[in-house]
Structure 1
Amino acid sequence: MPKNESEITIEIGNLPGISARSDALKSYTGEDGEVATPVPGGKLHRCIAVSFCLLCILQAALNISLRLALSFQQNSLTEEREELKRQLNDYAFQQNSLTEEREELKRQLNDYASQQNSLTRERDELKRKLNDFANYAQQGWVYFSDSFYYISSIKKTWQGSRDDCLHRGADLIIINSKEEQVFTRQFEKIMWIGLTDRETEARWEWVDRTLLTTSFWYPGEPNNYIGRNEDCVETWYYNDDNSWNDVVCENQNFWICEKKMAL
């Protein structure tokens, strides 16, 4: 065969009825004599363009969907976090409330225990006082104005009288008021009281070392009568409001002890 027979090109552009189709179709025969498949060039480009647009749209839709999903998930996580924080705050508030309630209950319990201890001590003190009252009353002591008084039935010196009072857990009487002075006069006895100036002349002190402030001296007393060293005091003129008299401490007299015991 002639060489040009292997490369035959068919012109179909001018054939009647298919002029529009001929612009898009071409064919050729290869070197081995095979005829190549016609290639629709314009349509392929359009398909590729459409496919690319669809892919872009699909990618955009996917991006939007992913963003919406992520946003929704983020909002959901944020709400869950806020809810957990709220619950945590509620638990913390409840914990603080329970702690405060516990501390208040502990404080009340301590108060009740303190009151109980105070009442117990008060009860024990009252029982002790009751026993003391009964004991002193049985021994002949007389109660007056927050004190018990013991009036002796024998006579001793001033110091001997005081020693007896101290042995009884008391001391010679200290007269601080008009009412107490009137109380001593009712026994109508000459009795030692707890007043002396033995340490310093004319410095009258009670047995508790307090200085004399309120006195009930008989007129003219104290006087160290006829030069005697009269350093101790007795209730001599008990018929008078002012009954005190200073005498020699070695004289023998009844005496009156005082034991402070307030109710």
Structure 2
Amino acid sequence: MSEDIYAKPDLTKKVRFQTGEKDENAVVFENTDVRIYDNYMPQGSTPPKLQDSTTEDQLQTNSANEPSGKKNVVRPAVMFLVLLCLLLLAVVIVLVVLWIQEKSLSDNQTTERDELQTRYDEMERLNDNLTRKTNRLEGDIDLLMVIQINLTKQRDELQKQLEMSFCPDPWMRFDNSCYFSPTMEKNWFDSKAYCEIQNSTLVIISSLNEHKFVRSFPSPVWIGLSDEEKEGEWKWVNGSVVTETYWGNNQPDNNKNEGNENCALNVHGIWNDLSCNKNNCFVCEKLLK
């Protein structure tokens, strides 16, 4: 029986299955009762060891499971790398945008700076021009002020010359002097003071023609002659000593009955000494140059 089992099968024979129960692990040949199992080994071969078969199955199982584990590790890594690349790309894009914005801002600032510098230079140029014009105007103003001062002086001189050349009304001109006889009566001292207020003096007679001119005024009138400082030494109000006189007979007599007669009075061309406190008309004289 055992020989039949381990005999070499005849592969030319047909194989058939018996009816009835069949073993899933048996192969039945036609016209024979020999059953061939999966663990059938040919004669002379060594049966495989169970341990080796188990190890081979484990290796196959491990080799089948190994790609699945690697896939589980690689997939997240790939996703992480993709996300990292996207993040780096986003950072690069943001940096590029920021660089473009900064460059644009820098260009704008440079343009504005150049414009401001141009405006500043223009303002400096205008300021220099205004400064030069101001200095010229100040020089012109100073020159005009000098001219105005000179014109004012010339005007004043001309005014004085006019005043000296013409006698204001109601003054009367004779030779180089203007004469005025107020209608009021005053003593000699007050008459002298009144003429001085009018920038003149009591009349000083220095020639015969002037003596004749003074005679044309209503008489009697005080003239600017007295010996108040020293008795008998007659002087004009300008301090000069009298050289040509027109005293009447026995004049000056210094009549004691009338008090000290120290002032000269012109009465129709004749001089008479009289008390200085008497009130009379008077004649003022203003010299013309």
What TM-score does the superposition give when structure 2 sets the normalisation length? 0.44
The TM-score with structure 1 as length reference comes to 0.49
